[in-house]
Amino acid sequence: MSINSSKPGVNERLAQSQNRLIEHLRSSEKRYSDLVEHLRDVVFQLDVNLNWHYLNKAWHTLSGFSVDETINTPFINYLLKAEQPLCNSGFKALLNGQQQELTLQIHLISADQQCHIVELSCRAFKNELGHFQGIAGILSDITERVKAQSKITHLAYHDALTGLANRRLMLTYLQDILDSPSIGGLIFIDLDDFKGINDNHGHFIGDLLLCSVAKKIEHLLANRDALASRVGGDEFVICMNFETEDADNAQQQLLGFATLLGDSIAKEQILDTTKVSIRASIGALLLNSGHIDPEQALHCVDAAMYKSKRQGQNRTQLYDKTFEQEQNRLKTFKEDIENAVQVGEFQLYYQPQVDLVDNYVVKVEALIRWNHPLKGMILPDNFIPYLEQSGLIVQVGAWVLNEGCRQLKTWINQGIDKIVMSINVSAHQFMQPNFMTLLSDCLHRHNIPRHLLELELTESVAIKDVKLAIDKMREIQQLGVKLALDDFGTGYSSLAYLKNFPVHTLKIDKSFINGIPNDGYDTTIIETTLVMAKHLGIEVVAEGVENNQQLAFLKKLNCQLYQGFLYSKPLCAADVLKLLIKNIKHPKPIQTNATTHMPSLIPGCR
């Protein structure tokens, strides 16, 4: 009896087990196949001739080619030609057993001729006999990842707004120039009153302006061995390498380029329908010695730039060793003035404005002084420019307005209730968006009659935006506060502004008063101004009257008011009160035939 016949059903069970195993393998293979087919990465096999043998569906998504049209075509046909030899040699090393695994970053050209950056990772595989049969691997599209990494790397060395190099890259480039035997140059650019652009037109226009300046710099640097960088809000640094060993020639090139750059920046332009103009202060440094490091070079060229800024706008200054001493003195001065703002070292003095008909004091002009703890009283000409430049003028100007109104209220409470307080307002402060709120708050805080407050403005308030300036003036006028146009005749287009500005008073600048009655030019200007003002119903104040001849001339022309040392120097509040009380009872007689003794100047008064 055979075994099979002795055990009926055994073969049947074996067959069933075998079928289940086959079905399980088929199911497992299908799951594996489905998984591979739906992977985002391309799974592939190459034969020994390096032709495509297998590809999953991800290939079509990546390349745009169908799987059917790709099978049996060479792998390298889809690569950049420059990368084909490297890839071929890598594959051969796998098939020869010289290399276990190959990983490359390659560029694959898709059906629409787009270039994809892919990461290739593959191994050779063998058949049952142990012979290499082909290559299997994965292609991962890393285009976006590489772009993101490239962007991160770019941002690490470049300014995000302008695209120029940042300080980090600039310092590296500058070090290379300093290490080389050739002569180099360094240019430091600071935009003058850029803060005013942001304040008046908004940061969007400010950013457009910075980008425009960057493009101008790049345009002028085309075909030059140089690097442009943005190192601060409105600060740019240019490193230049000159193909010459002649220092004089290099210096000529450096200053010539700086001049071209300054002229280009100064050209008026329209940014998003807004007309904008700006100038730059430029410092220049010739790099012809290796005994300096990048930070020292920047310190020197920065000192040259500040020297340029103090000399006026749109200037270029070559570095000189004496600048460092001056820079150190300026640094100390800046620290002192910033401390003065914090601890309140400023004071107001008041200079009377007098009626020429009856010689009564009708107004006083508030004039700021700095009572320095070591240097004594410092005049405004010595610190106002820095306040303007640093932006502290807004904070100090707010204090002046508040203190002037407080003092006016004090005098009113003491019985002096008809004197007008005239307060200077800088163009920078006037154009602040919150200036009207500041003024209204001040008026309510001190509860002063509006007609007893006068704000003195200069024509420069309208340089950047005439319409905005005039609208703000009309708002002030509607509050009942008077407006005076200071330094009339010294500005940009006095007659044109006078036609549009809603002003109550004109102040003729001292420079014209100095020449009367002997200077024909000055007398003509004053006569014309007085006649014009009379027809327009505008009051006129003559500033800086120092002798009786000037006074007699002004009285003859029917000028209404004057101020100057002939009547009084600027006085502290207590002395002004004494003068005003005395003035009410016994006004000073006008002397026109005898020489008046000039009052002596106390420290800090002009």
Q: How far apart are CA 198 and CA 130, in angstroms?
A: 75
b/e 345-360 (16+ beta carbons within 10 angstroms → b): bbebbbbbbbebeebb
Both 467 and 480 in a single domain? yes
State the first-to-last Cα distance of the chain, in angstroms, to the nearest integer.
Answer: 141
The pLDDT tens digits of the residues spanning 528-582 come to 889 888 888 899 999 999 999 999 999 999 999 999 999 999 999 999 999 998 8
- Beta-strand pair 420-424/453-457: parallel
What does the pLDDT read at residue 597?
32
Q: Taking Cα atoms as reference points, which of 176, 289, 281 lies closest to residue 225? A: 176
Q: What is the pLDDT of residue 66?
A: 94
Cα separation, 556 vs 356, whole angstroms: 10
The pLDDT of residue 494 is 54
Answer whether residue 339 is part of any domain: no
Most confident range, picked from 29-33, 45-49, 489-493 = 45-49
Cα dihedral 18, 23, 28, 34, rounded to 10, equals: 160
Residue range of the domain that includes 17: 1-38
Q: Answer whether residue 597 is part of any domain.
A: no
Q: Is residue 603 part of a domain?
A: no
Q: In this structure, are 290 and 382 located in the same domain?
A: no
Is 590 a residue whose pLDDT tops 80? no
Residue 195 has pLDDT above 90, yes or no: no
* Same domain assignment for residues 510 and 568: yes
If you average pLDDT over residues 468-482, what whole number do you get?
93
Better pLDDT: 28 or 605: 28
Say if 341 falls within a structural domain. Answer: no
* Boundary residue ending a domain (265, 300, 332): 332
Q: Does the residue 163 lie in any domain?
A: yes
**What amino acid is encoded at 106 in this protein?**
I
Is there a single domain that holds both residue 89 and residue 229?
no
Report how far residue 240's alpha carbon sits from residue 287's, in angstroms, rounded to the nearest whole number.
9
Counted domains in the chain: 4
**Residue 305's pLDDT band (cuts 50, 70, 90):** very high
Q: What confidence score (pLDDT) does residue 592 get?
A: 42
Strand segments (E) across 292-386: 315-318, 346-355, 361-372, 376-378
Question: Which CATH number fits the domain that encloses residue 532?
Answer: 3.20.20.450
What DSSP designation does 601 have? Answer: P
Q: Residue 186 is part of a domain; what is its CATH number?
A: 3.30.70.270
Residue 62 covered by a domain: yes
Q: How far apart are CA 324 and CA 285, in angstroms?
A: 13
Q: Which residues of 589-602 are buried (b: 16+ CB within 10 A; e: fewer)?
A: ebeeeeebeeeeee
Q: pLDDT at residue 6 above 50? A: no
The whole-angstrom separation of Cα 501 and Cα 471 is 9
Considering the domain architecture, whether residues 211 and 304 belong to the same structural domain is answered as yes
Better-predicted residue by pLDDT, 217 or 309: 217
Residues 328 and 404 grouped into a single domain: no
Q: Are residues 378 and 326 both part of a single domain?
A: no
> What is the torsional sign of CA 18, 20, 21, 25?
positive
392, pLDDT greater than 70: yes
Residue 491: strand, helix, or coil: coil
Tokens of 303: 């000192």
| Residue 595 belongs to some domain of the structure | no
Query: 222 and 308, same structural domain?
Result: yes
Instruction: Name which of 252-261, 323-332, 360-369, 472-481 the model is least confident about.
Output: 323-332
Asked whether residue 478 carries a pLDDT value surpassing 90, the answer given is: yes
Give the domain CATH number at 126: 3.30.450.20
The reported pLDDT for the residue numbered 3 is 45
pLDDT digits (tens, 9 = 90+) for 120-148: 999 999 888 888 999 999 999 999 888 88
Q: Are residues 2 and 51 in the same domain?
A: no
Clarify whether residues 235 and 148 are in a common domain. Answer: no
pLDDT at 324 over 80: no
- Are residues 450 and 481 in contact, defined by beta-carbon separation less than 8 angstroms? yes
Domain check: are 30 and 134 in the same one? no
| Average of per-residue pLDDT across 345-358 | 94
Question: Residues near 123 by Cβ (< 8 Å), separated by ≥ 6?
Answer: 94, 100, 101, 102, 135, 136, 137
The answer to whether residues 45 and 30 belong to one domain is no
Q: Output the pLDDT for position 29.
A: 61
Last residue of a domain, one of 332, 354, 380: 332
Q: What is the pLDDT of residue 528?
A: 87
389 in any annotated domain: yes
Q: Point out the least confidently predicted range of 161-175, 187-201, 373-387, 509-523.
A: 509-523
Alpha carbons within 13 A on the beta-carbon side of 322: 2
* Final residue before a domain boundary, out of 276, 304, 332: 332
Residue 145 has what pLDDT?
Answer: 87
pLDDT band at 594 (very low <50, low <70, confident <90, very high): very low
C-alpha–C-alpha distance, residues 95 and 100, integer Å = 9
Contact 268, 275 (CB under 8 A): yes
